Structure 1
């Protein structure tokens, strides 16, 4: 079986969060979704578990932080092309996201922008030149 990663996030509004994650390319997995949680698959190996605060609290005794006030994690999601960075941000904004809470990163071989989801979690949407990733000379 392929190793998978699941990012578990407490959310205030399950429906609003679900719309945002569809906008950045997620697909709902009904097998792991119910009235208190939604599993959004970003690939065959990456899942985001959106959990109501009540459900999330069942997994930890720690207080749920406020991602709108404090940085907790930066999550990067790759896209196929440079233009896909901007297209994905446009979709995310239309689905309730907030554009560019962090500076745009422009490095020639890499381009990224960030978007804040409805709960304040920051996702970096990024593209890297495939030639650079494979070890060839980067484009400028």
Structure 2
């Protein structure tokens, strides 16, 4: 059986989240989605996110829900194939309503920048030279 990584994230509005992440080029699998959750494909064949309404997410945990706009627990980091891909995704995220918390960081061998999605979750996009 092939292993998958599925990141579960609470969101306030599923349709706004669908529009936001669709603008970045992510797709959704209706087979694993419902009125309370959207199964988002991040990397075909293995990395996904389950975007869940906050009430549905709360029903699965016995601790308070962290409000990502006020506090952070995790940064989702995605590798990119080039600096241009990082910049393109940042531009698309910004156009779709993302907040950019810091300017790009260029270390020569590595280039990255992040964005905050509509619900305050942090995403970092990074390109690293093959030789490291």
Same fold (TM over 0.5): yes
The count of corresponding residues between Structure 1 and Structure 2 is: 131
TM-score normalised over the length of structure 1: 0.88
Shift of residue 22, structure 1, vs aligned partner: 2.1
Alpha-carbon separation, structure 1, partners of 2:19 and 2:122: 16
Alpha-carbon separation, structure 2, partners of 1:24 and 1:110: 22
Q: Find out whether 1:8 has 2:8 as its counterpart.
A: yes
Which structure is larger by alpha-carbon Rg, 1 or 2?
Answer: 1
Q: Any gaps of 5 or more consecutive residues in structure 2? A: none
Distance 1:126 1:24, change over 3 A: farther
The residue aligned with 1:66 is: 67
In structure 2, the residue corresponding to 1:54 is in which secondary structure?
helix
Q: Any gaps of 5 or more consecutive residues in structure 1? A: 133-140
CA contact (8 A) 1:9 1:49 kept: yes
The residue aligned with 1:120 is: 120
Q: Find out whether 1:95 has 2:96 as its counterpart.
A: yes
Moved over 3 A (4+): none
CA contact (8 A) 1:38 1:50 kept: yes
Alpha-carbon separation, structure 2, partners of 1:15 and 1:46: 21
